[in-house]
Amino acid sequence: MALADDLKDYIARNSQKKLAISEKHGVAIVGETHAFLLTDSAAVRTAATVRLLLELLGDVTYRYFGNESYMNKGPVRRGVRQYLRDKTLSPAPDPKQMAADIEETAARVLVRRFQPVLDFLRNNPRYVLSIGTAIGFSAARDARLAQHFFEEIDDRGLHNWIPGVLLLGGFHAAAVSDSDWPTVRVLLEKRGFTCVSIRVLTDFVKDGVPDDRVVPVGTALDAIKPSDIIRLTSLASGTPVSFPTDRPWTNNQPSPFRKVTFGNSSASVAEQFEYIVLQKA
C-alpha cells in the first residue's frame, strides 16, 4: 500500500467525531494554525479551533483556559476582562484603520474571534489565563509564553495536577521542537506539568501550502515537491474527525504517522502530537 493509503486506512480505523483522550494529563494543549489578524480569509481555522475548545471545555474537570492570543497586558487583556465581566465589546474594527494601532486592532479582533468560548466561560466559569506576548518567533517567545502561564497559574493558586486547556500555535504546542529551542510544552513538562497535545488542521491553503499537508519523513524540507504532499483532510471520510496518532495499526504494525512529518521538521507527526483533529470548510 502507498503511504497515503496507509494513512487513510489508519484514520478510518481510529477516527471518531469527538475527541477521546485516553492519556492521563494535566494540560490539554490545542495547537492551531493561527487565523490572520487583519483579514478573515482563514476563518475556517478559527471555526475549527473554537469548535474543539468548546468540546473540551464541556468537560467540567478542566478548571482553566489559557490562550496565546490573549495578551498578558494591554488592550487585549482589558478587552477579555471586560467581556467576561459584563459582555461589553469594543466597536468592530474598521478595515481602513486596522493597521493604525495594532494593539487596539488586536483587542477588537481577538475578543470577537473567541467570543463563543468567552460566552461559554461566562456561563460555565473557569479561570482564564492571558499568556500572550509581543515577542516575535524565537526561543524568547516560547520562554515568555511559558513564564506567563506559570505566573497566571500561581496567581490563581492552581497546581500542576489541576487539569486545564491551553491554546497555542502549533509550533509551541509540539512535544518535539522544530527548532533548536524548547517549545512551550517542553518547558511546561520541565516544571512538572503532564501534557497531551492536539493538532487542529483544516483544508485551508495559504500561498500554495495546505494547512493539512504531511510529507514522508526524510523528504528534503527545503525542496518539497507537490508529489511529496499528502493532504490529510482528503483522507478522512467526514468532518470533523479526531484520532490518536500513535496506536498500533493493522497486524500490529506501527502507526503510519511515524512515517510522516508536517514538512517543517524531521520529527514525525506521531512524535509531536498525540492527537489530530481534521475539519473541512
Domain ranges of the chain: 3-279
Q: Is the Cβ–Cβ distance between 67 and 130 less than 8 Å? A: yes
- Quick one: what percent of the chain has pLDDT higher than 90? 85
pLDDT at 97 over 70: no
Q: What is the pLDDT of residue 40?
A: 87
User: Is the pLDDT score of 116 beyond 70?
Assistant: yes
pLDDT at site 8: 97
Reading the block at residue 41, the C-alpha cell is: 480569509
What is the per-residue DSSP string for 161-185? TS-EEEEEEHHHH-SS-SSSS--HH
95 vs 210, higher pLDDT: 210
Query: Would you say residue 85 has pLDDT above 80?
Result: yes
**Which residue's C-alpha cell is 503511504?**
3
pLDDT confidence bin for 137, thresholds 50/70/90: confident
pTM listed for this prediction: 0.95
